[in-house]
Structures are given as C-alpha cells and as structure tokens.
Amino acid sequence: MSVRTAKSIWNGTLKDGNGTMNFSNYSGPYTFVSRFEEGPGTNPEELIGAAHSGCYSMFLAALISGEGLTPDRVETTARVHLGKDETGPVITTIELDCRVTCDGLAREKFEELAQAAKAKCPVSRLVAAAEVKLDATLD
C-alpha cells in the first residue's frame, strides 16, 4: 500500500505565530485565526474534512461499482466541528452530506451501501473517536 507525506511548519507563539502546510500540489498558510476564528488560510480540521469527504466518496463509489452499477456522481461535503473538552480542543463531530446520482440503484440498497461506506472508509475508521453523522441522498 502507499505512504503519503505532508509537512507543516509553525513559527512563533500559538496566537501570534503562523505556519504553512504542504502536501502534493498544495501549499497554504494557517494561523490561530484561520483555525479557531474566521480568517484567511486553512486549518487541520478543514483538511481532515477534505480527506474524509474524498475517502467516503471513493469508498461509496467502489461499493456501488461492486453491485455492477456505475455511479454518475458521488458528491460529499464534510463539516468538521471543533469543540473543547477537559483536555482542550477536540473534533467532536463530522457531518457527511452525500448526494449520489446512479441509474438502477434501489433506495434500500443505496442506504445500505452509504452506511457501509461510513463505517468502513479508511478516514472514517481513523476518526472513529468523533461522532460521524451521515445524510445521504440518492437523486
């Protein structure tokens, strides 16, 4: 199996510092404001959301394909909630909102496959400590 690499550099204090995240063809800034408030740049939670939505979409497409069907489109949005517990900041919930277009896919089978993808995609398995909510729609 493959090994992927990402690199981050942080300069300065938590509130006044800044950093850069780098992987593949992406390099972007992140700061305290982009993570805990609203401001330009990215943050680890946004990147986890991108990873989770991409992983879930691919896994669901694979499950649908395993049924002998070809999905036209699997579009997933992930909303990652950052909260706080007694230890500090923590990802509390990830909401996956998925819309699928696939001719011939019965609603009951779709719901079964959508739940299976939620449970089995590698990123879902990684973030199992957070509550993962799914709203899946077959168009």
Angle at 119 between CA 113 and CA 123, to 5 degrees: 115
Beta strands in 40-88 (DSSP E): 73-84
pLDDT digits (tens, 9 = 90+) for 61-112: 999 999 999 999 999 999 999 999 999 999 999 999 999 999 999 999 999 9
Query: What's at 78, amino acid-wise?
Result: A
CATH number belonging to the domain at 44-138, selected among 1.20.120.1200, 3.30.300.20, 3.40.50.970, 3.40.50.300 = 3.30.300.20
- As annotated, the residues of the chain forming the CATH 3.30.300.20 domain(s) are 44-138
Prediction pTM value: 0.88
Contacts of 67 (CB under 8 A, 6+ apart): 105, 109, 113
pLDDT digits (tens, 9 = 90+) for 6-40: 999 999 999 999 999 999 988 999 999 998 888 88
